[in-house]
């Protein structure tokens, strides 16, 4: 497979056409097949280097990218602001233009509100090698694509009329970004699904992401609705994606966030709620899951759960992404 995606940035799925996203999924399926059968594919990015700049720590993201490029024959270098001059104030232009001389791609995870995605676009403005988002404040495109791949594996390529629900759930501990639910409402409305977003008051998405979801739904003849009732949202759903996020459009102050969350502890994905969905429905979550808060063990480990399939597909989607943007083919 050869495409025109060589050196194309992947900062948000909004920047890629449906055909380009389908090409990534097709490549991911082929690389997943080769991986399963032990077929060598380490020639694809042989001797190529990906710089991975993490402003936040990660389990799945770091390991899937690092394992993926190794399997493609390349090498990943793990960077943090404190271990580079980024932490001392070096700007995106100087960092990017130096790393461009050393390697073949730069991936960034930066979820700082109103900073993360803008930083990636600033990098991309000055360099020719691809800039890849490993998650930011607006979008988590690799996770959303892995989720789409998982859904297609379960329901087939024709997803028209399938009901996709992304519902807020309660969780303690820390302020979770909006990027996953925003990524999902923007992407799934482009692929034939009817999308329902459910959350209590105060947990709204960024206006530009809501506008994008509405626009895609209108263009594709799909539905996009927002409700404040978890039971009503899940009824007759094909896909139940239940996770927590913070009230970032209102506040990011930890005590205020926790107080707002604590008012809605009943927003949990349990067996009763999953029974409201279709018998063939699947339960999804990007992980890590706050078990017992976001969802019960019976759901997380139950027959509807595809969470480990999603996690695995991060590897295959990202390998396809790197192969197409850093190598130009698979």
Distances (CA, A) of 256 to 173, 227, 284, 325: 12, 23, 28, 42
What is the three-class DSSP state of 195? strand
User: In the chain, helix, strand, coil percent, each to 5?
Assistant: 45, 15, 40
Residues 161 and 185: their CA atoms lie apart, in Å, by 15
- Residue 105 contacts residue 50 (beta carbons within 8 Å): yes
Confidence (pLDDT) at 134? 98
Confidence (pLDDT) at 330? 86
Confidence (pLDDT) at 79? 98
Residue 105: Cβ within 10 Å count = 28
pTM (whole model) above 0.95: yes
Q: Which two tokens stand for residue 266?
A: 């009943």
Tens-binned pLDDT, residue by residue, of the chain (330 aa)? 667 899 999 999 999 999 999 999 999 999 999 999 999 999 999 999 999 999 999 999 999 999 999 999 999 999 999 999 999 999 999 999 999 999 999 999 999 999 999 999 999 999 999 999 999 999 999 999 999 999 999 999 999 999 999 999 999 987 899 999 999 999 999 999 999 999 999 999 999 999 999 999 999 999 999 999 999 999 999 999 999 999 999 999 999 999 999 999 999 999 999 999 999 999 999 999 999 999 999 999 999 999 999 999 999 999 999 999 999 778
Residues 87 and 183: their CA atoms lie apart, in Å, by 28
Confidence (pLDDT) at 2? 63
Confidence (pLDDT) at 328? 79
Q: Which two tokens stand for residue 284?
A: 């999804």
Q: Which domains does the chain have, with CATH numbers?
A: 13-140+313-327 (3.40.50.1370), 141-310 (3.40.50.1370)
Confidence (pLDDT) at 1? 66
Confidence (pLDDT) at 329? 78
């Amino acid at each position: 497979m050869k495409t025109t995606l060589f050196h194309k940035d992947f900062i948000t799925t909004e920047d890629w056409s449906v055909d380009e996203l389908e090409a990534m999924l097709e490549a991911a399926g082929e690389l997943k097949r080769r991986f399963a059968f032990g077929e060598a594919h380490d020639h694809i990015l042989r001797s190529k280097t990906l710089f991975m700049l993490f402003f936040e720590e990660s389990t799945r993201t770091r390991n899937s990218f690092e394992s993926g490029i190794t399997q493609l024959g390349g090498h990943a270098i793990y960077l943090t602001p404190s271990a580079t001059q980024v932490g001392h104030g070096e700007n995106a232009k100087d960092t990017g233009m130096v790393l461009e001389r050393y390697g073949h791609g730069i991936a960034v995870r930066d979820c700082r509100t109103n900073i993360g995605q803008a930083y990636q676009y600033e990098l991309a403005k000055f360099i020719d090698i691809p800039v890849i988002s490993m998650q930011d404040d607006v979008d988590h495109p690799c996770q959303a694509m892995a989720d789409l791949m998982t859904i297609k594996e379960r329901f087939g390529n024709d997803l028209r009329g399938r009901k996709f629900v992304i519902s807020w759930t309660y969780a303690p501990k820390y302020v979770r970004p909006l990027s996953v639910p925003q990524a999902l409402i923007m992407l799934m409305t482009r692929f034939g699904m009817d999308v329902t977003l459910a959350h209590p008051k105060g947990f709204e998405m960024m206006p530009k992401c809501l506008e994008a979801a509405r626009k895609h739904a209108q263009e594709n003849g799909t539905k996009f609705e927002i409700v404040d009732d978890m039971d009503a949202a899940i009824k007759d759903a094909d896909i139940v994606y239940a996770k927590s996020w913070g009230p970032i459009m209102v506040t990011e102050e930890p005590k205020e966030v926790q107080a707002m969350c604590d008012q809605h502890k009943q927003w949990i994905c349990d067996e009763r709620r999953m029974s409201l969905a279709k018998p063939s429905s699947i339960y999804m979550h990007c992980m890590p899951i706050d078990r017992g808060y976001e969802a019960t063990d019976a759901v997380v480990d139950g027959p509807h759960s595809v969470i480990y399939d999603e996690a695995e597909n991060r590897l295959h989607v990202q390998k396809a992404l790197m192969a197409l943007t850093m190598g130009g083919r698979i």
